Chains A and B, each alone.
Chain A
Amino acid sequence: MKIPAWCTSAALVAAASSAAAQDFRVPPYQGIYQPQGVDERGLWMEADEAERGLRDSDLVIRDQALNAYLREVLCRTVGEDRCNGVRIYIIRMPAFNASMTANGTMRVFSGLLLRVRNEAELASALAHEFAHFERRHVLTGFQRRRSASDLLMWTAVLSAVAGQPNYAYLPLVGGVFEFSRDQEREADILGLAYLKRSRYRPQCAADVWKRLMDEADASALGRAQRSQRYDRVPFFASHPTQQERAGYLSSLAGAEVADRTVNADTFAVVMRPWIAQFLDDQIRLNDFGGTEYLLAQLAGGTWTAELLHARGELYRSRGNPRDLVHAADFYRQSVALDPSRAEAYRGLGLALMRARVLDEGRAALVRYLSMQPDARDAPMIRALIDQPL
């Protein structure tokens, strides 16, 4: 039950060329919208309830500067009038994800912020989510699923009466997932339309998907698994393949236009205070290959003390004897660049102790404790220094 992606891609590129001729017209904005009909009112009520829950959630990152920045990027992308219909919540979850509910609640995962490289890429993700909201995809998706399940029930009854197997369920169930993929494509295309009207470089939308494929390959390699296929649509997929998305976004973005911006520098400044925490969340996921790929992407050839430290933590957490040697080396490079990094001395000491290089390990731990005598693990580290085995 796999659908070759080239069918859909070809159709999209054909649609794209006609869309390109219209220069991505964005539908007129309705202003403040109130839900219509019982279905939509119900969905909004549920979304309102879930949003009230976010007020007290420990998972929401409430930092004002970071929240204001995301809002600014969204408003710059979709326009001031549109962005007023949306509340953004940054959720501390290390996966690449964002979502949009019917009532305008946009959730952006911290894992997405760790993986986009500049403001234009962030804008493309926010624009895609906003497009779901503007096209009221939650409502139409819900109605589609409901009518499919109604039909499914009737075909089951009829086939039972007729004493025949129910052959209708496969196209019905498949249709729901196909509809979901169509919604994603529609959101991709409308999202790109916002991006084209903004000052951001629209080609960035495709870059995100290309890197996600590379990261998934690196994860698979790190787990000694085969690479996934990116060109086939599994029957139950709710989203188009990453390869398809990268392909059509890239062709729809068209030729490079002058005076477009990606704002990589501003993005880096805003994200700097968050990188350490987001990386720490990522390192703890036991995904060596994917994390190593992410670190290399973040470094871009220039390994800072912070990234070297993170790399040391990654290798030390895998903990093979060869990993401990590399980890110790990364920690040493980290403290060479920034001798005030107490945590790197801790990592160095623990990597060496585990590798049974006791004297140097003890010295590094003593150094850590002299810098952070009140650390929360100080009593245990002291015990380790006194009696390492």
Chain B
Amino acid sequence: MRTPTKLIALLFFVATPAAANRLIEANRSVEIADSALEVTPARDWNRLSARPGRSAETWTLDGDALNDVTFYAGIENDRPIFREVNRRNQPLPRFSSTMLLTDVPTLLENSYRVGRGVSVFAMDRVEPMRFGGQGGVRFHYSFTAGDEVRRRGEAVGAIVRGKLYLIAYEAPAIHYFDASVEDFRRLIASAMLR
């Protein structure tokens, strides 16, 4: 009786490939979440298999608790930027194609407050920036989530043909943010919006 059980278990594991994180190699252009957004990283990154939403993906260097870049690529009108956590009682704010660029930082902040339970969030500088050849917005922020780690964030966003493209880099304020922020800036400098 024992061998067949083991065999079945083994077959089960072989037949169900575990969703895996993937290496993103340097100097090759990558399309983000099947959207019009394309980047060419200057160094290797890891893409996490767990995606925050249908039109989003997360990259990291040392693990997403230490540094992560999240792409929200091609968010359509009336859609939240990431997956709903509690649609009935705590629905996420939704992107609207009529938003101004100044509404983009607020959309990210409010999504964190509702979906991630962040209650300490401070928006710092908000400035214009070219992003993927389009007029966009860059903003700087800091927040404390449930793990009580102070994180800093820097993000760029643009609204193109009624869709939102947003890339956010976040890392603990101690050491990690400064350590990789230049990698992030190089990454967004390579962004193309087709």
**Chain A residues near B (Cβ < 8 Å):** 53, 56-59, 92-94, 223, 225, 281, 284-286, 317, 319, 350, 353-354, 376-377, 379-381, 383-384, 387
Inter-chain CA distance A383–B113, complex, in Å, is 28
Determine which of B90, B100, B102, B110 lies in contact with A317 in the assembled complex, contact meaning CB atoms within 8 Å: B110
Q: Point out the residues of chain B lying under 8 angstroms from A285, CB to CB.
A: 90, 110, 113-114
Determine which of B103, B119, B128, B144 lies in contact with A383 in the assembled complex, contact meaning CB atoms within 8 Å: B128
Chain A residue with the shortest CB-CB distance to B88 = A225
Majority-rule SS of A interface residues:
loop
B120 at the interface (CB under 8 A from A): yes
Chain A residue with the shortest CB-CB distance to B148 = A57
Partner-contacting stretch, out of B11-19, B60-68, B91-99, B160-168 = B91-99
B107 to chain A, nearest CB (A): 9
Determine which of B100, B114, B150 lies in contact with A354 in the assembled complex, contact meaning CB atoms within 8 Å: B100
Determine which of A56, A281, A286 lies in contact with B119 in the assembled complex, contact meaning CB atoms within 8 Å: A281
Chain A residue with the shortest CB-CB distance to B91 = A286
B126 at the interface (CB under 8 A from A): yes
Pairs across A and B, CB under 8 Å, 27 listed: A56-B148, A58-B120, A58-B148, A59-B119, A59-B120, A59-B148, A92-B119, A223-B91, A281-B113, A284-B109, A284-B110, A285-B90, A285-B110, A286-B110, A317-B93, A317-B110, A319-B98, A350-B102, A350-B103, A354-B99, A354-B100, A354-B103, A379-B126, A380-B101, A380-B137, A381-B102, A384-B100
Asked whether A317 and B106 contact (CB < 8 A) given A285-B114, A286-B93, A286-B114, the answer is: yes
Determine which of B91, B93, B119, B148 lies in contact with A93 in the assembled complex, contact meaning CB atoms within 8 Å: B119
User: Which residues from 75 to 133 on chain B have a C-beta closer than 8 Å to any C-beta of chain A?
Assistant: 88, 90-93, 96, 98-103, 106, 109-110, 113-114, 119-120, 123-128
Q: Point out the residues of chain B lying under 8 angstroms from A381, CB to CB.
A: 102
User: Which residues from 136 to 157 on chain B have a C-beta closer than 8 Å to any C-beta of chain A?
Assistant: 137, 144, 148, 150
Inter-chain CA distance A58–B143, complex, in Å, is 9
Q: Point out the residues of chain B lying under 8 angstroms from A92, CB to CB.
A: 119-120
Asked whether A380 and B98 contact (CB < 8 A) given A58-B144, A317-B106, the answer is: no
Question: How many contacts between A and B, using CB within 8 angstroms?
Answer: 76
Q: Point out the residues of chain A lying under 8 angstroms from B88, CB to CB.
A: 223, 225
**Chain B residues near A (Cβ < 8 Å):** 88, 90-93, 96, 98-103, 106, 109-110, 113-114, 119-120, 123-128, 135, 137, 144, 148, 150
Q: Point out the residues of chain B lying under 8 angstroms from A376, CB to CB.
A: 123-126
Chain A residue with the shortest CB-CB distance to B87 = A223
Majority-rule SS of B interface residues:
mixed
Inter-chain CA distance A317–B109, complex, in Å, is 12
Chain A residue with the shortest CB-CB distance to B112 = A284
Q: Point out the residues of chain A lying under 8 angstroms from B123, CB to CB.
A: 376-377
**Interchain CB contact under 8 A, A377 and B126:** yes
**Interchain CB contact under 8 A, A354 and B119:** no
**Interchain CB contact under 8 A, B96 and A319:** yes
Q: Point out the residues of chain B lying under 8 angstroms from A317, CB to CB.
A: 93, 106, 110
Inter-chain CA distance A214–B92, complex, in Å, is 22
Apart from the given pairs A285-B110, A383-B127, 4 other A-B contacts in the complex at a CB distance below 8 Å: A225-B88, A286-B93, A319-B96, A354-B103
**Interchain CB contact under 8 A, A384 and B92:** no
**Interchain CB contact under 8 A, B125 and A353:** no
Inter-chain CA distance A281–B118, complex, in Å, is 10
B60 to chain A, nearest CB (A): 24
A203 to chain B, nearest CB (A): 30
Inter-chain CA distance A276–B128, complex, in Å, is 28
Closest 8 CB pairs of A and B: A383-B128, A377-B126, A379-B127, A58-B144, A380-B126, A284-B110, A286-B93, A58-B120
Inter-chain CA distance A377–B124, complex, in Å, is 8
Q: Point out the residues of chain B lying under 8 angstroms from A377, CB to CB.
A: 102, 123, 125-126
Chain B residue with the shortest CB-CB distance to A91 = B119
Inter-chain CA distance A381–B105, complex, in Å, is 13
Asked whether A350 and B119 contact (CB < 8 A) given A286-B114, A379-B128, the answer is: no
